[in-house]
Amino acid sequence: MEILSYLLIIIACILSLTGALGLFRLPDFYSRLHAVGITDTLCSFLLLAGLACQSGWSLTSAKLLIVFAFLLFTSPVSSYALAHSAWRWGLKGHATDNHDEADLK
């Protein structure tokens, strides 16, 4: 169980670094938000699962499960709220993402 917990934590760290790399390399706000929003939820799941494996079946594992349930609902909602707010304020995406109406016909 110890090896599994360390493996989950290491995978979470690597995935978190991948999200950070996407944050710096992607061209616009929406792409960056997508990369970070996806990896954030998965990293928190893997990290909390690794910590739960280390603590065994205890009250700490139950608390970690509650934290994960909270993050499972709030992380996508906060990503949506950020994207919606940016869109309402008129923040444009990358130049190749803008299409004319002639392209859509």
d(CA 96, CA 104): 14
The alpha carbon torsion through 47, 74, 42, 67 (nearest 10 deg) reads 20
Angle between helices 2-25 and 29-55 (to 10 degrees): 170
Confidence of residue 17 (pLDDT cuts 50, 70, 90): very high
DSSP state of 29: H
- The pTM for the full model equals 0.77
List, for residues 23-33, the tens digit of each pLDDT value.
899 988 888 99
List, for residues 21-80, the tens digit of each pLDDT value.
988 999 888 889 988 988 989 999 999 999 999 988 889 999 999 999 999 999 999 999
Confidence of residue 90 (pLDDT cuts 50, 70, 90): confident
